[in-house]
Amino acid sequence: MPDDKLLELSLSEAARCVTDGEISPVELTDACLARIDAVDGTLCAYIDVYADAARQVAQAAETMIRAGHRLGPLHGIPLALKDNIGLAGLVTTAGSKVLADWRPTEDATVAQRLKGAGAIILGKTNMHEFAWGGTSANPHYGSVRNPWNPERFPAGSSGGSGAAVAARTCFGALGTDTGGSIRLPSAVNGIVGIRPTIGRVSNAGVVPLAWSMDTVGPMTRTVEDCALMLSVLAGYDRRDAGSADVVVQDYLADLRRGVDGLRIGVIPDYFFSHLQAPVYAAVTAALDTFTKLGARVMDVDVEGIHGNISAQLTIESCEPSTYHQRWLRERPQDYGDDVRLLLEAGELHLATHYLQAQRYRSRLRASFLDAFRTVDVFVCPTLPFTATKVGETLVEIVEGAPEDMLAAIMQFTGVPSLTGLPSLAVQCGFDGEGLPIGMQLIGRPFDEATLFRVGAAFQSATDFHVRAPDLPCTLAPPSTTWPSR
Amino acid sequence: MDEDDVRALARAAALPLDDDRIAALAALLGGWLPAANELSRAMSAREHRDVLPVTVFGQPPTDPTE
């Protein structure tokens, strides 16, 4: 099969083909590495690529398949990890100069689980420095660019993972999400990504941003792929004190069940009142699609939802500043300007600000749990605008009224982050310039299966997820010249 | 929030700040801290008196027969 056809396979299709012996893990890996060579000079999506190691693992995976052995559902599938996820003996920078030489002594639990299921780790993806920002404009490793238009940003902080998946350089990637860092790049790059319920996936071995909100999750092109990856990642981990000992659902079982009779809640007063017009049109069209599929869409009022942005900014300031306290005093010059400013700002809040914000989270969560008595899932935009130009720090949602990027970009994704609820980002349209638009599905605690069911129903009725960016290829140095770490 | 306020807060936090940092921090916190104060005021309302912060350890139910 030619490389371009191989790379158009979904993760699930590729996994089935590997299992059936129709394609080899070596073919898949070589196709991904060639694609990285062709496009990453433009995208800057990877910080490191393990070409030789990936080929060796692929060869071993092929030998195993020929002998009738399959490690798990990801056997022979090339994936990428955000560079704040530790791999034993390999530099894990978290997109920073501060950790430019840090080599963890063991794999993060999520990396162990992916490898245990047979995945091939291609490399580490670029990101916003220490995950503290939403643009992936990285002063140390270069600004990540959007495959749909390289002059536009990929959002963040997992911008490298989003761009890498959308550009078909890998079949899936891991991101991390504190205030929206999986869902924002998923929306802006036209892919799928889930922020699982807090505690559903282990954070052990992952460089933290804000302990009380951090989560790891998969980013893929289809909902089925996302469900497959989460089924490997989810589950209790004694290495992570925040891990939840809750039974893991079968995420694949209900993918084709449809949404007939499902109750979908919308909160017009908050999520639909301050949007760019194409985003509003795409998400309301998605709601129409759900209605045609048999779901019941109803307006819901969630008490106290206004005020969440301040709570996010306070918590996302104070917790990172606590983690970085020593480095900020000993080597402040090693941080990029934007992250240094945010870390300094986090030191200057009062303890009462932080604790009132944490109390607000309890209140908002209770309001959502009340609302889930009448609806099964909420649908809203992932963010209120489409991709801005690389390097922008302001965004115009309403023409002529520029807003601060950070507060604007996480005003919708922050709601699940604060409440700990699971949230799935699914592509749902394009604006007039061909830039992707995403919607966000929010579910009950530990009910990721319903989100996948709803997302899969939408993808079965639409074709946004099969469209590919027409990315101009600029030949980068061959992968063998990537810095050996 | 003015530059003197930032200097005072930084002193309280034992955070050394060059002068070129002060103005940018005053501008940023000038937007954030009033919003944080507003949230604090709202959460101090009588009806929220019993709300716990999420930092409190949640103890899952245990089965005494296990």
Q: pLDDT tens-digit profile of A203-240?
A: 999 999 999 999 999 999 999 999 999 999 999 999 99
- Is the pLDDT at A163 greater than 80, yes or no? yes
Q: Are A345 and B15 in contact (CB under 8 A)?
A: no
Q: Which of A351, A406, A442, A332 is nearest to A131 (CA)?
A: A406
Helix-strand-coil split of chain B, %, nearest 5: 60, 0, 40
Joined tokens for residue A121: 């780790």
Residue A475 pLDDT > 60, yes or no?
A: no
Rg over alpha carbons for chain A, rounded to the nearest Å, is: 21
pLDDT of residue A474: 53
Pairing status of strand A192-195 against strand A423-430: antiparallel
| Predicted pLDDT of residue A476 | 47
Beta carbons of B15 and A310 less than 8 Å apart: no
Predicted TM-score (pTM) of this structure: 0.95
Residues 6+ apart with CB under 8 A from A373: none
Active centre residues of A (catalytic)? 82, 157, 181
Q: What is the pLDDT of residue A471?
A: 84
Looking at A21-30, A145-154, A402-411, which range is the least confident one? A402-411
* CB-nearest partner of A310 from B36, B51, B54: B36
Which pLDDT band holds residue B54 (cuts at 50, 70, 90)?
A: confident
**Residue A159: per-residue pLDDT:** 98
pLDDT at residue A477 tops 50: no
At A2, is the pLDDT very low, low, confident or very high (cuts 50, 70, 90)?
A: confident
Share of chain A above pLDDT 90, in %: 94
* Segment holding A372, helix H or strand E: none
pLDDT value at residue A441: 98
Q: In what order do the strands lie in the sheet with A215-220?
A: A46-49, A120-125, A78-82, A173-177, A215-220, A192-195, A423-430, A436-442, A377-381, A263-266, A296-299
Map residue A1 onto helix, strand or coil.
coil
Task: Let me know: does A102 contact A92? Beta carbons within 8 Å.
Answer: yes
- Taking an 8 Å cut-off on Cβ atoms, the answer to whether B48 and A344 are in contact is no
- Write the DSSP symbol of residue A483: P
A245 touches chain B (CB under 8 A): yes
- Let me know the angle formed at the C-alpha of B58 by B55 and B60, rounded to the nearest 5 degrees: 165
CB crowding A262-294: b at 16 or more within 10 Å, else e: bebbbbeebbbebbbebbbebbbebbebbeebe
pLDDT score of A279 more than 90: yes
Q: Which of A149-158, A418-427, B25-34, B54-63 has the lowest mean pLDDT?
A: B54-63
Q: Is the pLDDT of residue B65 over 70?
A: no
Write down the pLDDT at residue B55: 77
Q: Which residue in chain A is spatially nearest to B35 when comparing CA positions?
A: A310
Q: Are residues B25 and B2 in contact, defined by beta-carbon separation less than 8 angstroms?
A: no
The yes-or-no verdict on residue A484 having pLDDT over 50 is no
Q: What ipTM was predicted for this assembly?
A: 0.89
Residues with Cβ within 8 Å of residue A284, at least 6 apart in sequence:
A272
Using 50, 70 and 90 to split pLDDT, how confident is the model at A482? very low
Determine how many CB atoms are found less than 10 A away from the CB of residue A223: 28
Q: Name the phi and psi angles at A123, rounded to 5.
A: 170, -175
- The answer to whether residue A89 scores a pLDDT higher than 80 is yes
Q: Are A455 and A424 in contact (CB under 8 A)?
A: yes
To test the contact with chain A by mutation, choose from B29, B43, B57 the residue with the greatest count of A C-beta atoms within 10 A, namely: B43
- B-facing residues of A in 195-224 (CB < 8 A) are 212
Q: Say how many residues make up chain B.
A: 66
Region A57-86: what's the mean pLDDT? 97
- The pLDDT confidence band at residue A307, using thresholds 50, 70 and 90, is confident
Residue A441 tokens read as: 């599905």
The pLDDT assigned to B20 comes to 87
Q: For residue B48, give the chain A residue with the closest CA.
A: A363
Q: Cβ contact (<8 Å) for B51 and A363?
A: yes
Residue with tokens 């969630």: A302
Mean pLDDT of the region A415-421: 96
Average pLDDT, chain A: 95
Q: Would the pLDDT of A49 be above 60?
A: yes
Average pLDDT of the residues in A310-317: 96
- In 3D space, the residue among A442, A319, A424, A306 whose CA is nearest the CA of residue A363 turns out to be A306
Percent of chain B having pLDDT more than 70?
83
pLDDT in tens, B11-34: 999 999 988 899 999 999 999 999
- Asked if residue A199 has pLDDT above 90, the reply is yes
Per-residue confidence (pLDDT) for residue A3, from 0 to 100: 77
Mean pLDDT of A282-288: 98
Q: What percent of chain A has pLDDT over 70?
A: 97
- B32 to A362: CB separation less than 8 angstroms, yes or no: no
Tell me the sheet residues that pair with A146. A149
Please give the average per-residue pLDDT across A325-347, as a whole number: 97
Q: What would the mean pLDDT of A420-447 be, rounded to a whole number?
A: 98
Partner B contacted by A42 (CB < 8 A): no
CB-side neighbour CA atoms (13 Å) of A95 = 36
